[in-house]
Amino acid sequence: MIQTTTLPPLAQPIISAVAVGYFAVVAAIGIWATRKTRTASDFFVAGQGIGLWALAIASMAATLSGFAFIGGPGLVYSVGIGAVFIILPVSLTNAMGAWVLAKRMRLLAEVRDMITVPDAIGARYRSPLAQGLAAVAILIAVVGYMATNMLALGLVIDAIFGVGLTWGIWIGTLITLAYSVSGGILAGVYTDVFQGSLMALASVLVFVYVLEVGSGLSGISRTILGADPGFMGPWGKLTPLAALSFFFVFGLGSLGQPHVVHKFYMLKDPRRLKWYPLIMTVALFVTLLLYVGVGLAVKSLVVSGTMPPLGRPDDATPTFLLRFTPLLLAALVFSGVAAAIMSTVNSFMSIGAAALTHDLPVALGRRVGNELRWGRISTVVISVVAALVAQASGTLVAFLGIFGWGLFASTLVPALAIGLNWQGATRAGAVASIATGIVVTLVFETLAYLRVYAFPAGVTVSGLSLVASMLVFLVVSMLTQESEGAAIDADIRLVMEV
């Protein structure tokens, strides 16, 4: 049960009731989507039939995991304003993603009926090897990401219902699996719309309480400045290099997140992309108010003596909610945290299953007979593996979760985002950069995990691997351009020129 602070009377039943109501809505959407899912295209790309709002809100929900509601505010509480550099690029990244990827991905789906991100890489370079390598990178990162999120989901369910962590992990996995296996990405998208709306609403309401409790932003700033001016500096407790490194990795790296990029295939009418960046950016901005607000407010309350220091930074959000907001809102946010995690897990289930069922067989020159059936089986297999990993070890899970973003970024940003906009990019460049991303990320993350080598403050493996794969991609492509000639199919070339 929730134990971060002494619970007010009736807290547990209200939080549990709201959570049950939330899971019932998710189940209803799953049942509706199951009836509409008849083909592999329905299962993996929602039959290319979703609207603009569904695309934008589902992408927002998939982008934000439980970190935005629990880990993020905890990080702000620990290191101050510097923690904001993780989400700071949001004001730029959605427009950047729209210019660089949205139109081209959607038009690729138009000419080739593509269903996965590695499909686009395979078609762009006419290379099953590049497609297969991208699928391997996605599979590794997906299992790590899912394990981290399932562990978080287990913690949330345990906190709400008091069932223990192991049961929490498996209950969360089964609920997410139930609608993902039956309704595929269609269920995922529409539960994401519900979950994303819930997250945005909860975040705005909590931010109002943040301002009220802290006597406005000025009150919060003055209180913290009096005790710890460095906390309110632009880098917080981080070094400038570390904060800027976050901005680089989470800014440019956003172009390589397949659970978001993949959704561009699903939009019914490509002309509706016009308003995508605005809706997505505003939705993210609103939902991230909690990330910044709660972290600063709790620090201010601790500094002023209103609250005792937290035992763990991750207690910032639960403690604030239970002490300073109405019970119903606290319950809504707890469901919002589960929503954030489940929407991310569902997206990973879908792209992981597609990599296993579609991309790896294509890379090996084969085709799976019934992609819908095998897609469902793969979803179960990947989820069970991730849930087992989530149970295995806390430190291992944390390790796996850390490199997910970096692995996606270093393997997909050069080959996909740059490659779809540069006709001079070559197959050799793509293969070399994806391989570089995988090797650099795995080797250096393992060295850091085993404490064989400690990086100086500000140097992250994600940043290093992204830079290394970018350089390899650019240099190898430039060196191999003449030997490869114009190795782009006419339809792909058209998509790159339009």
Partner 1 sequence: MTRTIALGALLLSTLLIAAAYVGALVAAVVPPWTPWALMIGTSTIMLATMVLGASRAGRGIGRLAVPFVAMFLVLLVGFGAALVMPIETVGSPLWLGLPPRASVILYGIGVLPLFVLPIAYAVTFESLTLNETDLERVRQMKAKRSPS
Nearest distance from C-beta of residue 181 to partner 1, angstroms: 32
3-state secondary structure 206-250: HHHHHHHHCCHHHHHHHHHHHHCHHHHCCCCCCCHHHHHHHHHHH
Identity of the residue, 2 or 470, whose beta carbon is nearer to partner 1 in the bound complex? 470
Nearest distance from C-beta of residue 99 to partner 1, angstroms: 4
Identity of the residue, 162 or 233, whose beta carbon is nearer to partner 1 in the bound complex? 233
Identity of the residue, 220 or 339, whose beta carbon is nearer to partner 1 in the bound complex? 220
451: phi then psi, degrees, rounded to nearest 5:
60, 30
Tokens representing 446 are 């393992």
Nearest distance from C-beta of residue 122 to partner 1, angstroms: 16
Identity of the residue, 81 or 353, whose beta carbon is nearer to partner 1 in the bound complex? 81
Nearest distance from C-beta of residue 273 to partner 1, angstroms: 7
Identity of the residue, 23 or 285, whose beta carbon is nearer to partner 1 in the bound complex? 285
Closest by CA to 330, choosing from 202, 207, 168, is: 202
Nearest distance from C-beta of residue 466 to partner 1, angstroms: 9
Closest by CA to 277, choosing from 55, 60, 98, is: 98
Q: Other CB atoms closer than 10 Å to residue 306's CB: what's the count? A: 14
SS3 390: helix
Identity of the residue, 139 or 280, whose beta carbon is nearer to partner 1 in the bound complex? 280
- 400, 389 contact by CB (below 8 A): yes
The Cα 14–Cα 2 span in angstroms is 12
Identity of the residue, 384 or 475, whose beta carbon is nearer to partner 1 in the bound complex? 475
**Which strand (E) or helix (H) includes residue 61?**
helix 52-63
DSSP 4: S
Closest by CA to 199, choosing from 76, 88, 69, is: 69
Identity of the residue, 347 or 469, whose beta carbon is nearer to partner 1 in the bound complex? 469
Radius of gyration, alpha carbons of the chain: 22
Nearest distance from C-beta of residue 12 to partner 1, angstroms: 36
The Cα 170–Cα 251 span in angstroms is 34
Closest by CA to 321, choosing from 13, 23, 15, is: 15
Residue type, 390: A
Q: Which residues share a beta bridge with 36?
A: none
> How many residues comprise the chain?
498
Nearest distance from C-beta of residue 233 to partner 1, angstroms: 6
Q: Which residues share a beta bridge with 50?
A: 267
Helices (H), 310-370: 316-324, 327-354, 360-363
Nearest distance from C-beta of residue 225 to partner 1, angstroms: 6
The Cα 386–Cα 181 span in angstroms is 15
3-state secondary structure 443-462: HHHHHHHCCCCCCCCCCCHH
SS3 87: coil
Nearest distance from C-beta of residue 341 to partner 1, angstroms: 25
Nearest distance from C-beta of residue 197 to partner 1, angstroms: 20
Identity of the residue, 319 or 410, whose beta carbon is nearer to partner 1 in the bound complex? 410
Identity of the residue, 328 or 475, whose beta carbon is nearer to partner 1 in the bound complex? 475
Identity of the residue, 271 or 367, whose beta carbon is nearer to partner 1 in the bound complex? 271
Nearest distance from C-beta of residue 397 to partner 1, angstroms: 27
Tokens representing 9 are 């009377």
